[in-house]
Structure 1
Amino acid sequence: MLARIIAELGPWSWWVLGMLLLAAELVMPGVFLVWIGLGAILTGVLSLLLWDAGFWSWQIQSLVFAASAVAFTLAGRRLFTRLETSSDEPLLNQRGASLVGRTAVLAEPIREGRGRIRLDDTFWLVSGPDLPGGARVRIVSSDGRDLTVEEA
């Protein structure tokens, strides 16, 4: 059945595939199917021009489609990385990194390099030199949920 549809549509089958991929991008966004859809549309344009040429077999069409999809994907990736702008709040979703430079009081002493501090409403695991509870520390770095401190 699929072969019959492709045979009846001829070079327009690539256009249909391209439009289906672009429509699928609307349903599940991620800016990936756009590039593959554009590859299918480019193959459709070439198919309209070269349909009666003897060398324009389905194998050549598939190779052109694969190559153009890869080329569009790489070009799109390059375009989007160039268009990225720096944020006015670069630490917005990096809570640990946003704490670097702050000072706090140890809620639990640092023993064998590990302890806890309380900042705002959260207890944080800290690593640093052994210090008694209640000592003032400065946060010098963040590694995910663990903070590294030094005596303030």
Structure 2
Amino acid sequence: MNVFLEQTPYFWVIGGILLLALEFLIPGTFVMFLGIGAIITGITSRLFPMEITTQIILWMGTSLSSILLGGQIVKKLFRSESSVDPFVKDDFLGQIVPVEVDILVGQLGGKVKFQGTVWDAVSEKERIPKGTMVRILSRDNLTFTVETVSLD
């Protein structure tokens, strides 16, 4: 058993390197942090001989620390571009679309077809019958506010 304990630091380092390599196959950086914890555990257990149970606890602690600390570093290095609104802004304004279901004044129930999808629609001024062409004025969540257009 003593021979095994003398070799465990090398197993930790080799395992850590394998986990780092595995990161290329499993994206997400999680496996990389486990590998970093294993390498730190291998180096530490080589410098300060310890029982396997202590090594496992050390690996869990260093992996958790590297996940927490490394996660913050990765977030700062690779900033994601996000916006509050997941839709492309204002690509719908002014578009002329057909009415699929009669649109009521200030009430949900009406529908328009925009980019191959049927959307809820309301009117602020008048009831608009099916088949009429309307202009999109604004969007509130998944509901368009529309007005009739004359195609003269």
Q: TM-score, normalised by structure 2?
A: 0.71
Q: 1:10 to 1:138 in 2, by over 3 A?
A: same
RMSD, aligned α-carbons:
2.9
- How much does 1:31 deviate? 1.4
Contact 1:106–1:137 (CA<8 Å) still a contact in 2? no
Cα distance in 1 for residues equivalent to 2:128 and 2:12: 71
Matched, 1:132 2:128: yes
Unaligned residue ranges in structure 2 (runs of 5+): 148-152
- How much does 1:11 deviate? 1.7
Amino acid at match of 2:128: P
> Matched residue pairs, number?
135
1:34 aligns with 32
Unaligned residue ranges in structure 1 (runs of 5+): none
- How much does 1:8 deviate? 6.5
Cα distance in 1 for residues equivalent to 2:80 and 2:44: 39
More helix by share: 1
Alignment map for 1:31-110 (pairs within 5 Å)? 31-51=29-49, 56-85=50-79, 87=81, 94=86, 97-98=87-88, 100=90, 102-103=93-94, 104-108=96-100, 109-110=102-103
- How much does 1:57 deviate? 1.3
Among the aligned pairs, what percent are the same residue? 24
2:150 aligns with none
- Structure 1 runs (4+) deviating above 6 angstroms are none
In the TM superposition, what whole-angstrom CA distance separates every residue of 1:115-137 from its partner, at most 9, and x where no partner exists?
A: 33233x41332243584133433
